Structure 1
Amino acid sequence: MTDPVLLTREGAVARLTLNRPEAGNAIDPAMAKALREAAISCAEDPGIRCVVLRASGRVFCAGGDIGAFSSRLESLGALTRTLTADLHAAMAIFARMEKPLVTAVNGPAAGAGFSLALAGDLVLAGQSAVFAPAYGGIGLSPDGGASWLLPRLVGLRRAQEMLLLGLRLSAEQALAERMITRLCPDETLQAEADAMAARVAGGAVRAWGRTRALLLESFAATLPAQLEAEARAIAQSGNDAEAREGIAAFLAKRKPDFLACG
């Protein structure tokens, strides 16, 4: 049986590849479980400093596997509960792990694939990418964090319009809406994602981890609470080898070697 999610390494960069191209990389229970397991592996491996999420084939992710849904209509609630248990565990790990996540969206991203695409700290999309919530069209509500991510990216009113009307956005429109970081030619998407991941992996990854946590918590925090969280985080960073290396490199007018900090 072909692995539904491939995990490969190149140096400090891990690549997770959705690997059901014949099914548009639609998420069935096996893929959701594999994604959770891969997320854990990435989060727990200290040698991994950045993660790239990408897909094989011409579709990034078509969302939930409608074929699997149709065969279990009488127990669809239980099936979706099982699927989201693993999918949401993976999403939570991606959000809270120390290392940044880069997503490379190479084609249509619908339903849960829409959520996966937007989950990156840095989201690169090829020109053929299409972003479609798509849930309402099959009588389902959002999953994968779409209802949390989208309002933070585009605002509540626009998120309501996108989700309730099931709007489809081209890559150019997604860039204009600030849903993605960068638009790339299809033929260079993977190379640009790899280059961005390598750049991130060469940076101060523990400081990046604290930055990710601060941003994640900022919408629920008061200003005094956020200031206190920033004070704790920068004090922790100040005690790290990364800060010592960064300051020494700045004074010596050289590029810092954060990889040597472990």
Structure 2
Amino acid sequence: MAYETISFSTRDGIATLMLNRPQVMNALNTRMRAEITEALNSIGEDVRCVVMTGAGAAFCSGQDLSDAAAAADIEGTLRREYEPMLQAVINCRAPVICAVNGAAAGAGANLALAADVVIAIESAYFSQAFTRIGLIPDAGGTWILPRLVGNARAMGMMLFAEKIPAAQAAEWGMIWQSVPEADFVDVVGARARQLATGTTGAYLKVRRAVRASGANDFATQLELEAQLQGEAGRSANFREGVAAFLQKRAPNFTGR
């Protein structure tokens, strides 16, 4: 499809998905949700890392409140449009870095936090602003946040709807890293290249194991670890990694 609300490009194994409605702080409308979903679901074996970011001064301000159709059927919009978009992030065939370049509010915050790794510019903030307009957090927020920061902090964010600066979000374990503006592009680029030249299959197995751990008891998690490790141990990348270690050289990992 022709993209109108995002830009999407691939280079050297890294796909960059940029939300591109800066005039409304990259607020999510029906078209943007469809385009994000389409772009992420279109990723092939050649892509080994995805960087999701925003154009302009914000990452994403959440739902476009001028969208009357979405406001008239919030439940239907969540089911038809948000759920596929978030599943596309969670199930992406490559690890996803969200480079939060500014405000991440409401559904925009939860879109960011659905990524595998979140790196935010120091001036960014995260806000669960839903209760300010009489709603509850959606877009996966009630599932994601308690697992990242615990119930007490998640409840405080959701009830008080206060802005959490990027540095505080990093201290809480909500995100991986808060980065000064001067270093932001370089840090994100270096991390993306690291993943794009690494063991993609192992990264995806790590994602699967970590996300399953919250619902598994210890014995079940051990079984899952053994299964996934067995698969990883039969991979070409494992053989290459061991050979590189023994030969004291840098490994040359390829694909999954």
Tell me the SS of whatever aligns to 2:146.
helix
Q: How does 1:167-178 map to 2 (within 5 A)?
A: 167-178=162-173
Report what 1:129 is aligned to.
Answer: 124
Q: How does 1:146-157 map to 2 (within 5 A)?
A: 146-157=141-152
Is the Cα–Cα contact under 8 Å of residues 96 and 212 in structure 1 kept in the other structure? no
1:216 is aligned with what amino acid?
A: R
Percent of aligned pairs with the same amino acid: 36
Separation in 2, partners of 1:226, 1:2: 41
2:21 is aligned with what amino acid?
A: R
TM-score for both structures, normalised by structure 1: 0.92
Separation in 2, partners of 1:48, 1:133: 32
1:61 is aligned with what amino acid?
A: C
2:40 is aligned with what amino acid?
A: A
Is the Cα–Cα contact under 8 Å of residues 21 and 56 in structure 1 kept in the other structure? yes
Cα distance, 1:2 vs. partner? Answer: 6.7
2:54 is aligned with what amino acid?
A: A
Q: 1:127 to 1:231 in 2, by over 3 A?
A: same
Report what 1:201 is aligned to.
Answer: 196
Q: 1:83 to 1:190 in 2, by over 3 A?
A: farther
Cα distance, 1:97 vs. partner? Answer: 2.8
Is the Cα–Cα contact under 8 Å of residues 32 and 83 in structure 1 kept in the other structure? no
Q: 1:33 to 1:187 in 2, by over 3 A?
A: same
Q: How does 1:53-64 map to 2 (within 5 A)?
A: 53-64=52-63
Q: How does 1:1-262 map to 2 (within 5 A)?
A: 3-42=4-43, 45-68=44-67, 71-72=68-69, 76-79=71-74, 81-82=76-77, 84-259=79-254
Is the Cα–Cα contact under 8 Å of residues 3 and 35 in structure 2 kept in the other structure? no
Separation in 2, partners of 1:18, 1:216: 26
Cα distance, 1:123 vs. partner? Answer: 1.0
Structure 1, unaligned stretches of length 5 or more? none
CA root-mean-square deviation: 1.7
Q: 1:80 to 1:17 in 2, by over 3 A?
A: farther
1:185 is aligned with what amino acid?
A: P
Cα distance, 1:98 vs. partner? Answer: 3.8
1:214 is aligned with what amino acid?
A: A
Cα distance, 1:79 vs. partner? Answer: 4.9
Structure 2, unaligned stretches of length 5 or more? none
Q: 100-109 vs 182-191, which deviates more?
A: 182-191
Could you give the per-residue CA deviations for residues 144-198 of structure 1, whole angstroms, max 9, x where no partner exists? 2111111011101211111111121111211121111111122332232121011
TM-score for both structures, normalised by structure 2: 0.94
